[in-house]
Amino acid sequence: MIEALLQTLLNGAASGGVYALVALGYTLVFSVLGVINFALGALFSLGGYLTYLLMGGRISANGGLPGWGLPQGLSFTPALLLAALLTGLVSLVVERLAFAPLRRRRAEPLLYLITSLGAGLVLVNLLQMLMGAEGYAFPATALAGLPDALQVAGARIRSVQVLLLAVCAAAVIVLTLWLERSRSGRALKAVAEDATTARLLGIDSGAMLRLAFLLSGALAGLGGGLIGVSISLPGPYMGISYGLKGLAVLVLGGLGSVPGAIAGGLLMGLAEALVPGDASGWRDALAFAILFLVLLLRPSGLLGRRQVEKV
Amino acid sequence: MGGLAVLGQQADPAAKAVPAADAPNGALTIGGVIALTGNANLYGQDQRLGISLAREWAGSRRRQPGEPPLRPLHFQLQDGGSDEATAIAGFNLLIRQGVLALIGPTLSQQAFAADPIAQRRGVPVVAPSNTAKGIPQIGPFISRVSAQSSVIAPLSISEALRRDPRIRRVAVFYSQDDAFSTSETAIFQRTLRARGLTPVSVQRTQLADNDFQIPITAALQADPQLVVISIQAVGGGNLVRQLRELGYRGAIVVGNGMNTPNIYPICQRWCDGILIAQAYSPELDTPVNRTFRNLLRGSSPDRSPSQITAQAFTAYQVLFEAVQRLQRRGGLENVNLGQARKALMEELLAGQYDTPLGPIRFTPDGELVQGQFYVAQVRMDPGGRSGRFALVRETGVSGGAGGSASPPAR
């Protein structure tokens, strides 16, 4: 009984950690700009592909470039971190192309959804054009030194998922500490709270916005690289489903709430893990039903603040 | 309305006359709708390669003394994606462009959506690898060169039980949102029940799933001795890998979805030892299979011959041979495209073919009749990045899609 419960908790935490990471990416942009960046799923895919390439992985590009790859590959950790940084930089490009022009014109939030969705689709199609539609797998030696799986009080979990959970937890802790304790983190929170007042206090809100996009992209890239090494890269669309799940977690936890994103991710993962094995095909349906119920009871999400309309 | 009807007639190329064989535009077009994008692209790559090899083979054919020149065929490829909508769009596009016949689509799930369009327009379809129940029954213009799962799937279960007769506890995994996988798992489970084995765990997954931690740990709690998988290649490869990583050491039988060497890079060293029933063996020693293997070696030295590549080769081959027979009989003279399509379908079903799969023919409703099937075991190289399907058993099957297919008179 305890073994089964522990197994469920481990399963839930393993998938919930990644959801939380993606939801945090959404949260950063939402808290500063008040809109959702739909290109995040595509950035997740990009992170996976960049990690693979930086590790010296070979691509085929639909037969156009069979066996092409970088002459020298990095080991997993530097490749993952560099890929996250590069994905963050691409996220800045997305901000410049899909968000900045609308912001200058004070466009309706709905328009940001459309431009970011468009930017995501362009990104995924570019990936497909450059890397090919075929799936790629990281070499089995990517995590050399780690055993295939770990056994904890009778419950089993793959080592790669333990690593995934640890990196997600570390990213969340570092991000939270940075937001709470650092000058730039507090400046970002100030812009999120009230951009006009923050500007009057001398905070460069544009720079904070770019920082939010950089970090958001880097988190998505980190998630993509970790998932890639766990389940391979099934195709450029791999990030879309994680992006959707992250979006659900964002809403579940409460729009713009960092602790909410973490709690929402873990709850979503746990809800999926609780689905009985012989009904596992209905996992997504059940997880979204829970989201539906939570929103019926708490429309602002688990830890979201109630929106007060100023009149 | 009347105007629309006239427009419709003008857009329908079936009424256009088939060009004479010696006309400058005398080549007839065969269309191919194959998954070049999406999850099924792993099969699409194999299929594109098979058709390309078959075109090379057809190009090297010479007219026999006393026979008319060979009718040239042009091939037009369209990406069928991995979903129904893209396959339908591909079929519509090629039919409007006036193809004589179609090869494809890649997945059974797509075939159930796209084949009725070809059937309504009277365009012959040869499915290279659609093994779900009921594909040729979509209509008289639909045929396949892939034996249905009910003939092949039980062979690998029998082999697993022959190797270890003590197996009693079986876990089953399948994609519940994929027509082929649900059809195949029904056959696997029926075979298991016929052998007195009731699955101790049935895990239903989804086509897009790649992380199987939850269903695997649920299944392993039932302590299975055999795992039977009906999932497509990428997901299936990940499932095998994760099963082994999570400590499962028993036998694994996989279905036709994983019948491609493209699984090797995904499950790597963990693929080693899985059992699979096949409709093709690279070890079949016939002239046409030797030619097929040589052509493959020439074009892609790193690739091992796979069932899906051989079936795609066969799909093009049977169409090529049927067109040449029809040409010799004068069946392509003074007819419009619609009549040529109908005559080709009749010719296709009447023929016997010596193919890389062995001798084959068709039943009147377009079902394949193939005599020999095989059970293979994956053997991975020490590096774990490449491997081969090693033949472990050759089986003659009678009845249904199996049965005697005597060699063609050539």
* pLDDT, tens only, A238-278: 898 888 888 888 888 888 888 888 889 988 888 888 887 66
Query: What residue spans of chain A are helical by DSSP H?
Result: 2-33, 40-54, 76-94, 100-104, 109-131, 159-181, 183-193, 195-200, 205-231, 238-253, 258-274, 283-297
- Residue B350 CB partners (closer than 8 Å, separation 6+): none
Measured distance CA(B182)–CA(B202) in Å, rounded: 12
> For residue B301, is the peptide bond before it cis, meaning its omega torsion is within 30 degrees of 0?
no
Chain A nearest-CA distance from B245, in A, is 5
Least CB–CB distance from B214: residue in A11, A139, A237? A11
Using CA coordinates, name the residue in chain A closest to B247: A149
At the second CATH level, the architecture of B2-147+284-370 is 3-Layer(aba) Sandwich (3.40)
Which pLDDT does position B404 carry in this prediction?
47
Measured distance CA(B408)–CA(B350) in Å, rounded: 11
Check CB contact under 8 Å for A277 and B218.
yes
Check CB contact under 8 Å for B205 and A241.
no
Using CA coordinates, name the residue in chain B closest to A60: B45
Check CB contact under 8 Å for A11 and B213.
yes
Measured distance CA(B129)–CA(B259) in Å, rounded: 10
Per-residue pLDDT of chain B in tens (410 residues, 90 and over written 9): 444 444 444 456 888 888 887 777 778 999 999 998 777 887 898 899 999 999 999 998 877 777 778 899 999 999 999 899 999 999 999 999 999 999 999 999 999 999 999 999 999 999 999 988 899 999 999 999 999 888 888 999 999 999 999 999 999 999 998 888 998 999 999 999 999 998 999 999 988 888 898 899 889 989 999 999 999 888 999 999 999 999 999 999 999 889 888 888 888 999 999 999 999 998 888 999 999 999 999 988 877 888 999 999 999 999 999 999 999 999 999 999 999 999 999 999 999 999 999 999 999 999 999 988 999 999 999 888 788 899 999 887 654 444 544 433 33
State the best of A158, A159, A242 to mutate against chain B, taking most chain B CBs within 10 Å. A158
Residues of A in contact with B42 (CB under 8 A): 134-135
Check CB contact under 8 Å for B210 and A234.
yes
Which pLDDT does position A115 carry in this prediction?
93
Residues of A in contact with B203 (CB under 8 A): 277-278, 280
Check residue B210 and give left, alpha or beta (phi > 0: left; psi -120 to 50: alpha): alpha
CB A62 within 8 A of CB A134: yes
Kindly report the length of chain A: 311
Residues of B in contact with A157 (CB under 8 A): 213
Chain B nearest-CA distance from A78, in A, is 23
Which pLDDT does position A104 carry in this prediction?
86
Check CB contact under 8 Å for A135 and B211.
no
Contacts 24+ apart (CB under 8 A), B86-90: B86/B37, B86/B38, B87/B33, B87/B111, B87/B113, B87/B114, B88/B113, B88/B114, B88/B117, B90/B33, B90/B114
Least CB–CB distance from A235: residue in B39, B45, B175? B39
The reply to whether the predicted model has a pTM over 0.80 is yes
CB A131 within 8 A of CB A49: yes
- Enter the DSSP assignment of B14: G
Cα dist. B179→B107, B111, B128, B186 in Å?
9, 10, 16, 11
Least CB–CB distance from A134: residue in B45, B206, B244? B45
Check CB contact under 8 Å for A278 and B39.
no
Domain(s) of CATH 3.40.50.2300: residues in chain B: 2-147+284-370, 150-278+373-396
Check CB contact under 8 Å for A148 and B244.
yes
Sequence letter at residue B27:
A
Least CB–CB distance from A140: residue in B220, B246, B268? B268
Check CB contact under 8 Å for B214 and A277.
yes
Q: Where are the domains of chain A?
A: 2-297
CATH classification code of B150-278+373-396: 3.40.50.2300
Longest Cα–Cα distance of chain A, Å, equals: 63
Residues of B in contact with A15 (CB under 8 A): 211, 213-214
Check CB contact under 8 Å for B265 and A280.
no
Check CB contact under 8 Å for A140 and B203.
no
- Enter the DSSP assignment of A12: H
Check CB contact under 8 Å for B208 and A241.
yes
Check CB contact under 8 Å for B268 and A158.
no
Using CA coordinates, name the residue in chain B closest to A154: B221
Least CB–CB distance from A149: residue in B204, B214, B247? B247
Using CA coordinates, name the residue in chain A closest to B215: A277
Check CB contact under 8 Å for B203 and A278.
yes
Interface contacts A/B by beta carbons within 8 Å? 117
Sequence letter at residue B317:
Q
Using CA coordinates, name the residue in chain A closest to B81: A133
Which pLDDT does position B117 carry in this prediction?
97
Residues of B in contact with A135 (CB under 8 A): 39, 41-42, 234, 262, 265-266
β-pairing verdict for B170-175 and B201-205: parallel
Which pLDDT does position A240 carry in this prediction?
87
- Residue B286 CB partners (closer than 8 Å, separation 6+): B354, B356, B358
Which pLDDT does position A176 carry in this prediction?
85
State the best of A150, A231, A244 to mutate against chain B, taking most chain B CBs within 10 Å. A231
CB B125 within 8 A of CB B100: no
Name the CATH topology of A2-297: ABC transporter involved in vitamin B12 uptake, BtuC (1.10.3470)
Using CA coordinates, name the residue in chain B closest to A240: B208
Check CB contact under 8 Å for B214 and A234.
no
Chain B nearest-CA distance from A18, in A, is 12
Instruction: List the structure tokens of A285.
Output: 């349906």
Confidence of residue A136 (pLDDT cuts 50, 70, 90): confident
Instruction: List the structure tokens of A171.
Output: 């990213």
